[in-house]
Amino acid sequence: MALNATIFKADLTITDMDRGYYATHALVLARHPSETDERMMARLLAFALNADEALAFGKGLSSDDEPDLWQKDLTGAIQLWIEVGLPDEKVVRRACGRAAQVRVYAYGRGAERWWQDARNSLGRSDNLTVVELPQPATQDMAKLAQRSMQLQCTVQDGTVWLTDGARTVEIAPVVLSAARKP
């Protein structure tokens, strides 16, 4: 018998002073049975850092053909493809061929090693940005996970603060590789 996804709901208020983006999003996150709270919250952070009315969650872990998040234009062309975690290099290369921009938010103990191993083959992609989320921050973000969440995310000068009103997590994402074409 297959286990069903667990549904989490988040009202996420974003104040992104770096991009000039200010909005509240009512999000529904389906946490795959094999997904941790840490990974789910990393997906939520990736949403916050790239928030747009057209940005949507993909099937993620349950599909190799869809990213964790993506943004399509009105013609259906993929403008932004976002992977969270330590994706297979083949998946990232295929995404770079399908989307205008690809972003990987790597986190966890193996993030630095993953990038060292993947840098030679993935570093040639002009439309790829790789960002490392520090493990202590992602572990603290996991503690904010609740089935129903009221969260505020503030971004200023590259630093992110995620709070539920009682606890605040400071995240300092590290850009390991930036896309060369906008």
Residue 58 lies in a domain: yes
Percentage above 70 pLDDT, the chain = 95
Q: What is the pLDDT of residue 136?
A: 96
Residue 1 lies in a domain: no
Q: How many domains does the chain have?
A: 1
> One-letter amino acid identity for 181?
K
123-159 exposure pattern, b = at least 16 Cβ within 10 A, e = fewer:
eebebbbbbbbeeebbbbbbebbeeebebbbbbeeee
Residue 59 lies in a domain: yes
Higher pLDDT, 170 or 109: 170
Residue 182 lies in a domain: no
Residue 17 lies in a domain: yes
What's the whole-number mean pLDDT along residues 123-152?
96
Longest dimension (CA), the chain: 47
For 104, other C-beta atoms within 10 Å of its C-beta total: 29
* pLDDT single digits (tens) 152-180: 999 999 999 999 999 999 999 999 999 98
- For residue 139, pLDDT beyond 60: yes
Residue 161 lies in a domain: yes
> One-letter amino acid identity for 72?
K
**Radius of gyration for the alpha carbons in the chain, expressed in angstroms and rounded:** 16
Question: How does DSSP assign 7-26, residue by residue?
Answer: EEEEEEEEEETTTTEEEEEE
- For residue 9, pLDDT beyond 70: yes
The whole-model pTM stands at 0.94
CATH number at residue 36: 3.10.640.10
- For residue 46, pLDDT beyond 60: yes
Q: What is the pLDDT of residue 124?
A: 86
Residue 98 lies in a domain: yes
Residue 46 lies in a domain: yes
**Which domain does 38 fall in, by range?**
6-177
